[in-house]
A and B are shown apart, each in its own frame.
Chain A
Amino acid sequence: MAEKILMKGNEAIARAAIHCGCDGYFGYPITPQSEVMETLMEEMPWETTGMVVLQAESETSSINMLYGGASCGKRVMTSSSSPGISLMCEGISYLAGAELPCLVVNVVRGGPGLGTIQPGQGDYFQMVKGGGHGDYKCIVLAPASAQDMYDFVSKAFDLAFKYRTPAIILSDGVIGQMMEKVEMSEQKPRWTDEEIKKNSPWACTGKTNDRKQNIITSLALDAAVHEKLNERLQAKYKKMEEEDVLFDSYMTEDAEHLLVAYGSMSRICQSVVETARENGIKLGLLRPITLFPFANKEIDRLVPQLKSIMSVELSAGQMVEDVRLVVNGRIPVNFYGRLGGIVPSPEEVYEAFVKSIK
Chain B
Amino acid sequence: MDIKDIIKPENKVYGKSPVLTDNIMHYCPGCSHGTVHKLIAEVIDEMGIQDKTIGISPVGCSVFAYNYLDIDWQQAAHGRAPALATATKRLCPDKYVFTYQGDGDLASIGTAEIIHACNRGENIVVIFINNAIYGMTGGQMAPTTLLGQVTATTPYGRRADLNGFPLKITELIAQLEGTCYVTRQSVQNAASARKTKKAIRKAFENSAMNKGTSFVEVVCTCNSNWKLSPVKANQWMVENMFPFYPLGDMKDR
Task: Give chain B interface residues in 99-142, CB to chain A under 8 Å.
Answer: 112-113, 116
Task: Give chain A interface residues in 28-71, CB to chain B under 8 Å.
Answer: 52, 54, 56-58, 60-62, 64-69, 71
A24–B72 alpha-carbon span in the complex (Å): 20
* Beta-carbon contact of B87 and A24 below 8 Å: yes
A76–B91 alpha-carbon span in the complex (Å): 10
Digit string of B57-94 for contact with A (CB within 8 Å is 1, else 0)? 00000010010001111111100100111111011100
* Beta-carbon contact of B76 and A67 below 8 Å: yes
* Beta-carbon contact of B88 and A56 below 8 Å: no
Least CB distance from A214 to B in Å reads: 5
| A164 lies within 8 A of chain B by Cβ | no
A26–B72 alpha-carbon span in the complex (Å): 23
Least CB distance from B30 to A in Å reads: 23
* Beta-carbon contact of B88 and A204 below 8 Å: yes
* Beta-carbon contact of B116 and A216 below 8 Å: no
Q: A67-B80, A68-B56 are in contact. Are A204 and B73 (CB under 8 A)?
A: yes
| Nearest B residue to A205, CB-CB | B72
Q: A91-B80, A98-B75 are in contact. Are A217 and B66 (CB under 8 A)?
A: yes
| B182 lies within 8 A of chain A by Cβ | no
* Beta-carbon contact of A204 and B72 below 8 Å: yes
| A292 lies within 8 A of chain B by Cβ | no
Stretch of B46-54, B166-174, B198-206, B241-249 with 4 or more beta carbons under 8 angstroms from chain A: B46-54
| B197 lies within 8 A of chain A by Cβ | no
From A66, A91, A206, A208, contact of B54 by CB (8 A): A206
* Beta-carbon contact of A64 and B72 below 8 Å: no
* Beta-carbon contact of B87 and A65 below 8 Å: yes
Least CB distance from B81 to A in Å reads: 8
A254–B66 alpha-carbon span in the complex (Å): 60
A60–B78 alpha-carbon span in the complex (Å): 11
Q: Could you say which residues of chain B place their CB within 8 Å of the CB of A71?
A: 74, 84, 88
| B95 lies within 8 A of chain A by Cβ | yes
* Beta-carbon contact of A64 and B76 below 8 Å: yes
A47–B70 alpha-carbon span in the complex (Å): 35
* Beta-carbon contact of A72 and B113 below 8 Å: no
* Beta-carbon contact of B83 and A68 below 8 Å: yes
A207–B193 alpha-carbon span in the complex (Å): 26
B interface size (C-beta, 8 A): 30
A76–B66 alpha-carbon span in the complex (Å): 24
A74–B75 alpha-carbon span in the complex (Å): 17
| Nearest B residue to A58, CB-CB | B112
* Beta-carbon contact of B52 and A206 below 8 Å: yes
| A213 lies within 8 A of chain B by Cβ | yes
Least CB distance from A55 to B in Å reads: 10
Digit string of A174-212 for contact with B (CB within 8 Å is 1, else 0)? 000000000000000000000000000000111111000
Q: Could you say which residues of chain A place their CB within 8 Å of the CB of B92?
A: 72, 74, 205
From A60, A66, A205, A216, contact of B87 by CB (8 A): A66
A354–B106 alpha-carbon span in the complex (Å): 59
* Beta-carbon contact of B63 and A68 below 8 Å: no
* Beta-carbon contact of B73 and A215 below 8 Å: yes
* Beta-carbon contact of B90 and A54 below 8 Å: yes
Q: A61-B83, A66-B87 are in contact. Are A213 and B72 (CB under 8 A)?
A: yes
Q: A52-B91, A74-B91, A207-B50 are in contact. Are A213 and B71 (CB under 8 A)?
A: yes
* Beta-carbon contact of A61 and B112 below 8 Å: yes
* Beta-carbon contact of A64 and B113 below 8 Å: yes
* Beta-carbon contact of A69 and B80 below 8 Å: no
| A23 lies within 8 A of chain B by Cβ | yes
Q: Could you say which residues of chain A place their CB within 8 Å of the CB of B90?
A: 24, 52, 54
Task: Give chain B interface residues in 29-53, CB to chain A under 8 Å.
Answer: 50-53
What 8 A-B pairs come out closest when comparing CB atoms? A68-B84, A217-B75, A64-B83, A68-B87, A64-B80, A65-B87, A204-B72, A57-B116
Q: Can you list 11 A-B pairs, Cβ within 8 angstroms, ordered by A?
A: A52-B91, A60-B80, A61-B113, A64-B76, A67-B76, A68-B86, A74-B87, A91-B77, A208-B51, A209-B51, A218-B75
A24-B91, A67-B83, A71-B88 known; 8 other A-B pairs, CB under 8 Å? Answer: A60-B112, A64-B83, A65-B86, A68-B87, A74-B91, A205-B72, A213-B70, A217-B74
